[in-house]
Structure formats: structure tokens, C-alpha cells
Amino acid sequence: MRKKIIAGNWKMNMTYEEGQKLTSEIVQMAKDENLDGVTLVLNPPFPHLYVVKKLIGEASNIFVGAQNCSDKESGAYTGEVSAPILASFGVDYVIIGHSERREYFKESNELLATKVKQALAAGLKPIFCCGESLDIREAGTHEPNVKYQLTDSLFDLSAEEISQVVIAYEPIWAIGTGKTATAEQAQEMHSALRRHIASKYGKEVADSISILYGGSMKPSNAAELLSKPDVDGGLIGGASLKSRDFIDIAKSY
């Protein structure tokens, strides 16, 4: 059985107090509303990680993740945070290759491959993001484009390593735009990606990997997207900043 994962990407939002309030509300609601069957991952900005981890406490289905990590293990890289540092603070997951990092910080497939390796070596689970721009979608080449992102950044991994990776398909045209991919578009891409992984690693490995959808997922469209057989959860931006919305998305399963 694949894990069902609802991950919140807070991006560069939330002060210390706001982050504590949001986390406490999520932890309480998840407990009161019996969300045990769904894995929740909170991905706040770096300074929040330690406190968020503490606030999660004993909740066995809630985890903490970072939004990025360095491609280097340690050393003189001012301003960077390495995977081993994150792991030492009890961080469980790390988002790698979000389209905002690819676009604004010019992160290449090659660099992301190194970051994934760093994360895995430190015992973190990478949430590897991929997705196409509107131009590519309109040209009809989205499938080979996104498959290539996987090939280039992940296909040097061993079967054991790739089994630790969570994939997030996030069409760039749907991120923060209010424009969601239809459930059919999401299913089509997720199933193509799973077949692509199977062609390299076999069906058993491909069937064990959770593939999340991201891009304007909210309580009103989550149930339909999550009903698709290859959509194993969501990576939620805007709607993860409101505890009620985030929990309602997780409850749509």
C-alpha cells in the first residue's frame, strides 16, 4: 500500500507566532478528527523546523519537512543548510526541486540530483517536484518533458534509494494561480510517471512510490483529484496556511 500524503508547503510565509498557532491547530484537529490514515507533512521555513517538530510531539502521522537543502554536505557555504544538519534536528522530509527554486534560483536537474543524494544519505525523504510550464503544456510535449526531469535527476539512484523518494507533480501553470489541473490531467501524468519509473525499476518499485499532485489544491477540488488511482496525495501551498483548509483537504480521502 502506498502512503497517502498531504504535505503543506508554507513557502516564505508565517512569523514565529503564526507558525506555532498554525501547527498547534493542525495537530489538535488531526487528533480530534481521527486523521490517522493520512500522513501529514508540514514544510515551514527553516527557523520554524525545530519548534514545529516539538509541537507535533507524539503524533505518529505528522512529520516535519524543510523546503530545500544544500547540495553540499558541510563547509564554508554561508547561508546554506545541509541535509545532515536538518536530519540532526529531527527533520523527516525535504522538498527538492520546487519550480520556484528551479526558476528563481536557477536550480538545474543536475544540481537537484546531487541534492536528492545528499538528502537520502542523511536519511531524509526527498519530496521531488517536477512539472511543466504553460508553453510546454500548450505545445503538447508535457509528458516527455516531465519524464525527462525524473530521468535526469532520479534515475541514477538505486531501486532502494528511489523507493525513499516521494514525487510531487506540480504543473507550473497551476501553482498559486487558482487554476487547477483537472483530475483527468493529473491522473494521466501520474500514471505516465509511474510507468516511466516501472520501465527503469520494475512495477513493484513504481507501485510503492507516492506521487502527489500540487497546484491550487483546495478543499473544494481535493476529493476529485484524490479519488484518482495514481494520485497519492497533495503538495499544498496557499491552502496549507489555514489549518481548517489543510485538514479538510486531508479529510477528502
Q: Which is nearer to ligand PGA, 119 or 239 (CB)?
A: 239
Q: Which is nearer to ligand PGA, 113 or 239 (CB)?
A: 239
Question: Taking CB positions, which residue lies at the least distance from ligand PGA?
Answer: 237
- CA 136 from centre of chain: 22
Residue type, position 161, single letter:
E
Angle at 209 between CA 31 and CA 235, to 5 degrees: 50
Q: Which residues bind ligand PGA (CB under 6 A)?
A: 9, 170, 175-176, 214-217, 235-239
Burial of 229 (0-12, 13-18, 19+ CB in 10 A): exposed
How far, CA to CA in Å, does 111 sit from each of 10, 115, 117, 205? 23, 6, 10, 24
Q: Which is nearer to ligand PGA, 197 or 217 (CB)?
A: 217
CB of 179 to ligand PGA, least distance (A): 9
Set 48, 98, 190, 196: catalytic member: 98
CB of 99 to ligand PGA, least distance (A): 7
Query: Annotated catalytic, 170?
Result: yes
Return the SS3 of 236: strand
CB of 181 to ligand PGA, least distance (A): 11
Query: Annotated catalytic, 98?
Result: yes
C-alpha 23/C-alpha 221 separation (Å) is 23
Set 107, 142, 170, 190: catalytic member: 170
C-alpha 239/C-alpha 235 separation (Å) is 10
CB of 7 to ligand PGA, least distance (A): 8
Query: DSSP character for 38?
Result: S
Catalytic residue ranges: 98, 170
